[in-house]
C-alpha cells in the first residue's frame, strides 16, 4: 500500500500510467484504485492500492487491468475504494466487456473521472450514477482531455486514427537522386515499423510508391516471416496498380488489399472507417508514403502521430520527405510536440534516431 495522496496527485498517477500504452484505435487510459475509507469529499489523503493502463486493442481496458492487479494483491472487498480513471468508463461490449459493468459488479461505490468520452461509447458516468455510484468529473480535466486530443478529433471526424511513418536521411530525403531508397534506415528501425504494422488495422501508401517500390506492406517478424496479425494493405490514388504488384499477393481486391480511388485523404480515411478487416472495423491506419500522399495528409491536418526515423546519411539532391503542404511563412508551420507515450519521445535504433511526435495541443489550428 502506497503513501497517502490527494485527488490531483492520484489522477496524475493515472495519467502517467496511461502513457505506457500505445496510441491508435483506442484512447490512452490510466486507472488507479485507492482506499477512501477516510474520504470526506474535501480532498482527504487516499492510499493507492493498484494502478492499471490500456495496453492496446484487444487487451484489458485500464479499469479491468487495475482491478485485476488489485485482486492479484489479495483485495476482494471493494466497498471502501474509489476508482480514478483518466477517461469515462466505456459502456459497450467489444473485444473486452464494458468497464461500467465491471465497476458495478465489483461494488465500487465511487468513481473519479478526468475527461468524458466524446465517442459513441461515452455516457459511462451517467450510467454509473444511475446505478447508485457517486461519480465526480473533471479532476485534471484539461490534462486528461489533452492526453487524447487527436483521438478525440479522429472520432469527431468519423475516421481512423492516423500514424505516419517517415524514414529519412539527416537532410530529410526519402530517396537518392536516382530514386533508390532501400534501405535508408537500419534493420532495427524497419523491424520497429513492422511491430507497428502488427497493431494497426491498415497500411496505406500512394500509387507511385506501390509502382516504384513494389512493397509487400505485410507485417513480418525479425526472421522475415509473416506475423499472425496482418493489416489491410491499401493504396490511395487514381492510377490502377499493376497486376503483379506484391501487395496484391495474387488476390482479388477486397481479399487483404484495397485501392482507395481518390486523392483526398479524408475521403480515403472515411472509406476505410466503413471497411471491415478480419471482422473488425478499421480504426487505425499507418501511412507509409510516398511524398505526395504524406504531403496530402499533412496539408489536411490528418496526421495524429509520427514515428520519424532519421539515418546518419546525407543525400543532397535526393527526393524530399514532403512537398508543398501550404506553408508559406514560419507562422503557418505545423507544430508538433515530443510524445512521451509508448516508450517515450526518442529511441536509438542501431545508428538511427527514432523521434515519436504528436500534433502540439497548444498549437492546434
The residues annotated as belonging to the active site are: 63
Burial class (CB in 10 A: 0-12, 13-18, 19+), 87: buried
Amino acid at each position: 500500500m502506497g503513501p497517502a495522496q490527494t485527488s490531483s496527485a492520484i489522477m496524475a498517477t493515472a495519467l502517467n500510467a496511461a502513457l505506457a500504452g500505445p496510441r491508435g484505435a483506442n484512447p490512452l487510459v490510466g486507472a488507479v484504485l485507492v482506499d477512501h475509507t477516510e474520504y470526506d469529499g474535501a480532498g482527504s489523503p487516499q492510499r493507492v492500492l493498484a494502478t492499471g493502463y490500456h495496453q492496446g486493442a484487444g487487451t484489458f481496458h485500464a479499469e479491468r487491468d487495475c482491478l485485476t492487479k488489485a485482486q492479484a494483491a489479495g483485495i476482494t472487498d471493494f466497498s471502501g475504494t474509489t476508482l480514478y480513471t483518466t477517461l469515462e468508463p466505456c459502456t459497450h461490449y467489444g473485444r473486452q466487456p464494458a468497464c461500467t459493468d465491471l465497476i458495478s459488479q465489483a461494488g465500487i461505490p465511487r468513481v473519479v473521472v478526468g475527461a468524458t468520452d466524446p465517442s459513441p461509447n461515452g455516457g459511462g458516468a451517467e450510467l454509473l450514477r444511475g446505478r447508485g455510484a457517486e461519480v465526480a468529473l473533471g479532476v485534471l480535466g484539461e490534462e486528461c482531455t489533452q492526453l487524447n486530443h487527436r483521438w478525440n478529433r479522429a472520432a469527431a471526424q468519423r475516421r481512423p486514427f492516423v500514424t505516419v511513418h517517415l524514414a529519412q536521411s539527416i537532410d530529410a530525403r526519402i530517396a537518392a537522386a536516382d530514386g533508390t531508397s532501400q534501405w535508408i534506415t537500419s534493420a532495427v528501425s524497419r523491424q520497429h515499423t513492422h511491430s507497428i504494422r502488427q497493431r494497426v488495422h491498415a497500411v496505406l501508401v500512394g500509387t507511385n510508391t506501390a509502382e516504384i517500390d513494389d512493397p509487400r506492406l505485410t507485417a513480418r517478424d525479425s526472421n522475415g516471416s509473416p506475423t499472425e496479425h496482418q493489416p489491410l494493405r491499401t493504396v490511395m490514388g487514381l492510377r490502377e496498380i499493376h497486376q503483379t504488384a506484391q501487395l496484391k499477393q495474387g488476390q482479388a481486391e477486397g481479399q487483404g488489399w484495397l485501392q482507395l480511388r481518390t486523392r483526398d485523404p479524408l475521403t480515403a480515411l472515411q472509406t476505410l472507417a466503413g471497411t471491415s478487416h478480419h471482422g473488425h472495423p478499421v480504426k487505425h491506419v499507418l501511412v507509409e508514403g510516398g511524398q505526395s500522399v504524406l504531403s496530402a495528409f499533412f496539408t489536411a491536418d490528418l496526421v495524429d502521430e509520427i514515428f520519424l526515423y532519421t539515418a546518419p546519411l546525407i543525400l543532397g539532391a535526393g527526393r524530399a520527405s514532403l512537398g508543398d503542404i501550404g506553408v508559406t511563412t514560419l507562422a503557418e508551420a505545423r507544430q508538433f510536440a515530443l510524445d512521451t507515450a509508448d516508450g517515450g519521445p526518442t529511441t536509438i535504433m542501431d545508428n538511427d534516431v527514432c523521434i515519436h511526435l504528436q500534433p502540439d495541443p497548444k498549437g492546434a489550428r
